[in-house]
Chains A and B, each alone.
Chain A
């Protein structure tokens, strides 16, 4: 499992961008999707998730804005930018290549 989570962690940013491609979202919701899609086998640590947000934001791949919740605490939403979409496509292509290589090696 530790190898699996290492590989997954290496792709944290692509995983986040993929979620934002579907719709704007906020931290907990993204983590919830990840959990659901992996049948509760994988979950990002909050520290990892928010560090990735900061990196993506600095790189200009995502932008954030505060939602106007009428009840409860306000949430910070993230939205993917055009350069972010391009970066996602590149990362995805890289991953496909790596996957093909590993399949032929292992």
Chain B
């Protein structure tokens, strides 16, 4: 009889997603119904009568399970958010494209190559800032159900965001390196030495990356 009551309740949850909330509700219902069943027996009812009393007392469980079926999956981006994000990315790309022109313009037209390089760096910095801001403010995947699948989706979404930030920063880094190379080469005219900048830049880049990864693995521990 106990198993029959348990089965009756479990069947009502058959087509409900197996979330933590649903499992707890099921557990709660079973515990309470079994206690009622035992009480009925103690009052001198037969097992058959007690079972009938418990089952008829449950009522229509669909009103309870219906609420558990609603799923809200992705937190959808609103059109305004998408527009804002597009404006940010477009501005950043424009700044990247314009940045080398600053060098040309200032050194050829105004004959102030230092200002030209400074302008280029400023443009690159602003553009990178915009891209990072865009990636950081993107709506994150919000977890609506406590299942493994949801956890995986959340992890994937976090990973993709990390990667986007990393790629943005690293492309800006290399642009800056190229800028430094050109600037030093043009001012010193020591082209046969200056290529070493790229090797140094690669080394610095990898060291920074290693430090970041090391910190990250420390945090997750």
A residues adjacent to B (C-beta < 8 A): 26-28, 31-32, 43, 45-48, 50-51, 54, 72-76
Residues in B whose Cβ lies below 8 Å from that of A74: 27, 31
Among residues of A, the one whose C-beta sits closest to the C-beta of B28 is: A76
Neighbouring A residues of B24 by C-beta, 8 Å? 76
Q: Is the CB of B32 within 8 A of A26?
A: yes
- The count of residues in chain B whose C-beta lies closer than 8 Å to any C-beta of chain A is 22
Q: Roughly how many angstroms separate A45 CA and B29 CA in the complex, as a whole number? A: 12
Residues of chain A within 8 A (CB-CB) of B29 are 27, 46, 50
| Cα–Cα, bound, A46→B31 (Å) | 12
* A/B pair count, beta carbons within 8 Å: 57
B79 located at the interface, meaning its Cβ lies under 8 Å from any Cβ of chain A in the complex: no
- Tell me the B residues contacting A by CB distance below 8 Å: 24-25, 27-36, 39, 57-64, 67
Decide if B32 touches A51 in the complex (CB within 8 Å).
no
Give the residue of B39, B59, B62, B67 whose beta carbon is less than 8 angstroms from that of A46.
Answer: B59
Given A45-B58, A45-B59, A47-B59, the answer on whether A75 and B64 have CB atoms closer than 8 Å is no
- In angstroms, Cα B28 to Cα A51, docked, is 13
Q: When the two chains form their complex, are residues A27 and B28 in contact, meaning their CB atoms are under 8 A apart?
A: yes
Contact assessment for A46 and B32 in the assembled complex, using a CB-CB cutoff below 8 Å = yes
10 A-B pairs with C-beta separation under 8 A: A32-B39, A46-B32, A46-B59, A47-B59, A50-B25, A51-B63, A51-B64, A54-B67, A73-B30, A73-B31
Given A46-B32, A46-B33, A47-B61, do A73 and B67 touch, yes or no (CB 8 Å)?
Answer: no
- B25 close to A51 (CB less than 8 A): no
Q: Judging by beta carbons under 8 Å apart, are A73 and B27 in contact?
A: yes
Q: A28-B35, A50-B64, A51-B63 are in contact. Are A45 and B57 (CB under 8 A)?
A: yes
Complexed CA–CA distance, A48 and B57 (Å): 10
B131 to nearest A CB, angstroms?
A: 39
In the complex formed, the residue of B with least CB distance to A50 is B64
Instruction: Report the Cα distance A46→B67, complex, angstroms.
Output: 15
